[in-house]
Amino acid sequence: MKSLFVANWKMNLLQRDAVAFASRFKELFSGVSNYDAVFGIAPALSSFQALKQALGNYQQVWLGAQNVHWLASGAHTGEISAAMLKELGADFAIIGHSERRQFYGETNDKVALRAKAAINEGLTAIVCVGELEADFKAKKTAEVVHRQLLASLAGLSAADSLRLVVAYEPVWAIGTGLAATPEIADTVHQQIRAELCEIFGEEAGEKIILLYGGSTSPDNIAELCSQKEVQGALIGGASLKPESFAALILNGAKARAALA
């Protein structure tokens, strides 16, 4: 896989919107070959089956969830387990997104448990880290990312890391229209890469895919993906329209291919 682009639809798009998205998206990609990217979509779970059906066996598409519980079953109203996601046909789960951390009390400890449960069930865990605007202004990015990363990956083995993707999403860049500069993204990704190599050993650490997230668009993705350690993106707003998501994938994938 040269690059990975994952749509996080958050709490958007009804079933009919997801179906319309899929058919337009397939149209946009018809006749396009050799872009050598994998892309994924994490819809609202209510649209999961409709989207899956509408995409059919469409090439290179992963479907996933925006969260997952760490236990297999039990009295946990409103939650969903990794086995339940697997049963739906999910390939991955996004874990520790900043909106969950900021608004729903998500902690690094729980992120680590969720990641382990997802991976044990054969899902890819996309673990998100990223600093708040105040941390960024106080030049604490490296420290915050270090702390989050270490604690959010606690308990994962090198074998587990085969199913791990890490997304760096500076909170000040999410939904603000103000993406991190390619230099900032690459600096933090280099730090994450070095830390992953320390945690899991060099061989495993080098293989983990690193995504950038935060106000990516078809216009800025090429420059971001031209950085060595920016191997794709986790995309919010720009993934809600098939035209912009497709353009973003193609521009990003082209930039990654040019690096090789």
Number of neighbouring beta carbons within 10 Å of residue 163: 20
> Does 135 participate in binding ligand PGA (rule CB under 6 A)?
no
Q: Kindly indicate which of the ranges 44-52, 107-115, 153-161, 234-242 contains the residues binding ligand PGA, using the contact rule CB under 6 A.
A: 234-242
- Examine residue 175 and tell whether it contacts ligand PGA (CB under 6 A): yes
> Are 240 and 12 within 8 A, CB to CB?
yes
**DSSP calls for 26-91:** HHHHTT-----EEEEEE--GGGHHHHHHHHTT-TTEEEEES--BSSSSSS-TT--BHHHHHHHT--
CB nearer to ligand PGA: pick between 149 and 173? 173
Q: Is 54 in the site for ligand PGA (CB under 6 A)?
A: no
Q: Is there binding between residue 43 and ligand PGA (CB under 6 A)?
A: no
What does the DSSP 8-state code read for residue 190?
H
Number of CB atoms found within 10 A of residue 183's CB: 10
249 lines the binding site for ligand PGA (CB under 6 A): no
For residue 97, indicate whether it is catalytic: yes
Strand partners, 127: 95, 166
Which of the stretches 139-147, 197-205, 228-236, 250-258 binds ligand PGA when contact is defined by CB under 6 A? Answer: 228-236
Helix (H, G, I), strand (E, B) or coil at 16: helix
Q: Establish if 216 lies at the interface with ligand PGA (CB under 6 A).
A: yes
User: Which residue among 64, 130, 236, 242 contacts ligand PGA (CB under 6 A)?
Assistant: 236
> Of 154-173, which residues contact ligand PGA (CB under 6 A)?
169
Instruction: Out of 64, 214, 232, 242, name the contact with ligand PGA by CB under 6 A.
Output: 214
Q: Is 106 a catalytic residue?
A: no
Closest by CA to 133, choosing from 181, 172, 168, is 172
Binding flag, residue 131, ligand PGA (CB under 6 A):
no
What phi and psi, each to the nearest 5 degrees, are found at residue 5? Answer: -130, 120
Contact residues toward ligand PGA (CB under 6 A) are 8, 169, 174-175, 213-216, 234-238
Q: Name the residues annotated as catalytic.
A: 97, 169
